[in-house]
Structure 1
């Protein structure tokens, strides 16, 4: 199986001292590597070219989470397309090999996404997010899991994933224009087309965020915009209400285990900001673009 690696970047220099050695040590080396850089002002482009990657530079205003990945997927020739972000650091030498191996376990696996571990030094809540969404056991998800998993059935992550090209082509590839969550979009399309989504716990990367309060608000505004514009996903898989309650309870357990229950009010406030951002995102059609640029994390989407 010919493998292509795609990495969108913008000012990635702070990650490259960890990322490039981790890529170099992989026992499975991609047949080609394409970096799509959004006009970085640091030495990202030079360092990736020195590393041996093909680098294509685009205007930052032209970047789109779906459209840029769609374009990139058309520029490479692999049967399997590994897609990752600049801050996802392979945790072992077998990370790529295990990801491809789990994709190939079943010809119905259209996409496989790896296990994300907290970065060293991650905060309690940032680490808990990884533990909640990326457990220790692999599994395959199909439409038959919707009654039990709900919206979680189409959960996937382009921070580190691999797509079977034939399956991606069968669902018309990445969406041309989305504010984010292109991974959930493609996974949902694949599930509805009869494919499976594979969670590959054996393929591990370090990837986590310690979001500040307003960052959580901005992020959930963008998520609300996405699901508001793609109602077919909620119709097919349900909404995230029950999952949100489980997440809050898991955060409180994590605080208790870390002897940090004094931060419980922070969890409540964070949850309120997430919900507010999400609800406003659903109502974005009533808001002017000038305001949406301030409410969301992907501000250039509205220019």
Structure 2
């Protein structure tokens, strides 16, 4: 199994001294590490070249979650491709080995690993990682849609691996999607009859301490994503998952005695819901305001709208 690893970067210099050496010391050797950089302002490109990585540089305005990764895959040589983000750090030297292990099964097209919170993560963020990335392994297929619902398609490019042949068979990542290109890829695999594995033995440190405004921006984009991709999710209700998350988060904080975080959770929940509902209504929102509400503002640069003001 030849494995290539792809990381899109933007001003990633501060992450590289820990990330790249860690990847080069893995128990399973990579045939290449490809950095596809969106014209960073810092020394990202020079630093990764010095560390022996292959580099591709694109204009920042041309970055696209799916299209940029598809470009890097076309330049890769592995029959398995791992995707990571610049701010994820493997927990141990067996990360790559454990991530690709499920792909030995011919029915499995892709796998993704577990994310654990960084030590500085806030209590609500720690719960979010525990909620979304449990310790139990799962293999998901089309048969799980009635029981798992939207979770059937849950998948993350923070640390994932795909078989190149199946990736090409389904046409790779969808291009020009505001976010969740990884979820759409998983949906394409599953609807094609393949399986997707969650393998918690492959672990990375990864978490964010977003503000309420950042959560609003992110969930606006999530709403836009579901508005623009309704055909993939017809008949699948995803709002129930949000209610289950909120109940679990509040119980977690109460059990931990972290009462001071409860007002923050309530404020963040309101921001998320408001952003999400506005995102679902994006077709009736002027482009000017979409750019203000969005976390991925570059996405809107190529969107034509007669409502622009």
CA distance in 1 between partners of 2:44 and 2:268 (Å): 33
| 1:76 aligned partner | 76
What pairs up with 1:161-240 in 2 under 5 angstroms? Answer: 161-235=160-234, 238-240=236-238
Name which of structure 1's ranges 150-159 and 12-21 shifts more when overlaid on structure 2: 12-21
- Distance across 2 between alignment mates of 1:73 and 1:22: 22
- State how 1:222-301 maps to structure 2 within 5 Å: 222-235=221-234, 238-301=236-299
Partner residue, 2:153: 154
Does the aligned pair in 2 maintain the 1:22–1:91 contact within 8 Å? Answer: no
Cα distance in 1 for partners of 2:117, 2:260 equals 22
CA distance in 2, matches of 1:233, 1:14: 38
Question: Where does residue 67 of structure 1 map in the other structure?
Answer: 67
Q: Distance in 2 between matches of 1:181 and 1:31?
A: 27
Q: C-alpha displacement at 1:187, in angstroms? A: 0.3
Structure 2 contact 124–261 (Cα < 8 Å) conserved: no
Q: Does 1:8 align with 2:11?
A: no
| Alpha-carbon distance in structure 1 between the residues aligned to 2:282 and 2:264 | 27
- Aligned residue number for residue 21 of structure 1: 21
Alignment size in residue pairs:
301
Deviations along 1:153-187, whole A, 9 cap, x unmatched?
00000010001111111211111211110000000
What residue ranges of structure 1 are gaps of 5+ in the alignment?
A: none
1:140 and 1:197 in contact (8 A); partners too: yes
SS of structure 2 residue aligned to 1:175: coil
Q: 1:103 Cα deviation (Å)? A: 2.3
Instruction: Output the CA distance in 1 between the equivalents of 2:298 and 2:54.
Output: 25
| Aligned residue runs from structure 1 range 28-177, under 5 A | 28-104=28-104, 106-177=105-176
User: How far off is 1:256 after superposition?
Assistant: 1.2
Query: Could you tell me how far apart the structure 2 residues matched to 1:164 and 1:126 are?
Result: 31
Would you say the 8 A contact 1:252–1:261 is kept in 2? no
Cα distance in 2 for residues equivalent to 1:17 and 1:77: 25
Q: Distance in 1 between matches of 2:260 and 2:83?
A: 39
| Residue 298 to residue 15, structure 1, CA distance change in 2 (3 Å) | same
Cα-Cα RMSD: 1.1
Moved over 3 A (4+): none
**Unaligned regions of 5+ residues in structure 2, if any?**
302-309
Structure 2 residue matching 1:14: 3-state secondary structure: coil
1:262-291 CA-partner distances (Å, limit 9, x unpaired): 322322221121111111111112222221
